[in-house]
Amino acid sequence: MSATRWVLVGGVPIGGGAPVTVQSMTNTDTRDIKATGGQIARLAAAGCDLVRVAVFDAACARAIRALTDASPVPLIADVHFDHRLAIAAVENGAAKLRINPGNIGGDAAARALSDCLKAHRVPVRVGVNGGSLERDLLDKYGGVTAEAMVESALRHASIFERFGVRDIVLSLKASGVRATVEANRLASERCDFPLHIGVTEAGLPGVGELKSAIGIGSLLLDGIGDTLRVSLTGDPEPEARAGVAILRAVGLREGPDVIACPTCGRTGIDVRGIAERVMGEVASLRAPLRIAVMGCVVNGPGEASEADIGIAGGKSGGVLFRKGFPPTPVRGDLAEALIDGIRGLASDG
């Protein structure tokens, strides 16, 4: 993989070795400033570094100003078919555009938009989806292939480059994991544009998170990807949480890692219930703590003792482990004892 160029989205850098950022997109009516602003705030609290909103008419473009003024994170305007809406969104404070230059008109429209982007120092994401490739590329490559997606993305990026825009991010997404991974690997070899990665239309939470974790995680472990979105059907907040979890899982974002035993017939405590309570308590922590919830006396004590803090429980009580300290017997509410210990560790660090 080649090093990617650096672009700035509001105050958030993408590419050039900057930390990988998490994005999501609102599903409220952008013109409803109260509803959209509330969802933006919740997405930021869930871990989003950037939030995208749909701009489909002039009222949406005007709403960008109020939304940007109140937003805790930079906003991206998603615009199609009308370069005038894209210009209006930028002029009203959008920190980045997501657009396909092939559907906004001819050279005059692309030049006008490019001049606006340069004047406001706003980057643009050129997005290519496997389901919307040009007919000539489908014919040339015999369908949706990595080569077809990369050629499409570079073709569209060149439109902006022709008019002097350098701050360009690419995204190459398919609904299939393999096609997405192959396209992004190829793109990383052929250009230095920052890459926005994700499996598009991944589906409902559960299977969608699984597909996204495999696709996004594979690329991140290859060192590919500068910003990401987990695309799930429904409420967007789980997208943000899943994105953060993926980054933590591959070691690219600090935060708590809660491990829990899978349970068996020897289990003497409510491992799932305790783990869920702990997950809820630590969701907003940034401290890189390894936390263990173990449910029996066979493997539990040894595995829990390898964590920064953990509990191993049985029918008669449990034992709290904390690195550097002797094990402490616990009776009563094991979850509360563990949570108290985690709070102490977090405040110490």
Residues in the chain: 349
- E strand residue ranges, the chain: 7-9, 12-14, 21-25, 50-55, 75-79, 96-99, 124-129, 168-173, 195-197, 227-229, 257-260, 290-294, 309-314, 317-322, 328-330
- Residue 255 pLDDT exceeds 90: no
Token pair for 96: 């980045």
The dotted CATH code for 7-249 is 3.20.20.20
* Structure confidence by residue, pLDDT tens digits, 9-65: 999 999 999 999 999 999 999 999 999 999 999 999 999 999 999 999 999 999 999
pTM of the entire predicted model: 0.88
| Cβ–Cβ < 8 Å for 25, 232 | no
Measured CA to CA, the distance from residue 173 to residue 196 in angstroms comes to 9
- Residue 2 pLDDT exceeds 60: no
| Cβ–Cβ < 8 Å for 23, 30 | no
Per-residue confidence band for 1, with pLDDT thresholds at 50, 70 and 90: very low
* Structure confidence by residue, pLDDT tens digits, 146-169: 999 999 999 999 999 999 999 999
In CATH terms, the fold of domain 257-348 is Sulfite Reductase Hemoprotein; domain 1 (3.30.413)
Q: Answer whether 7-249 and 257-348 agree in fold.
A: no
Angle between helices 33-46 and 237-249 (to 10 degrees): 20
Cα four-point dihedral sign 123, 243, 245, 275: positive
State the average pLDDT over residues 295-303: 68
* Structure confidence by residue, pLDDT tens digits, 75-133: 999 998 899 999 999 999 999 999 876 677 788 899 999 999 999 999 999 988 877 78
State the average pLDDT over residues 176-200: 93
Measured CA to CA, the distance from residue 185 to residue 82 in angstroms comes to 31
Domain spans of the chain, in order of start = 7-249, 257-348
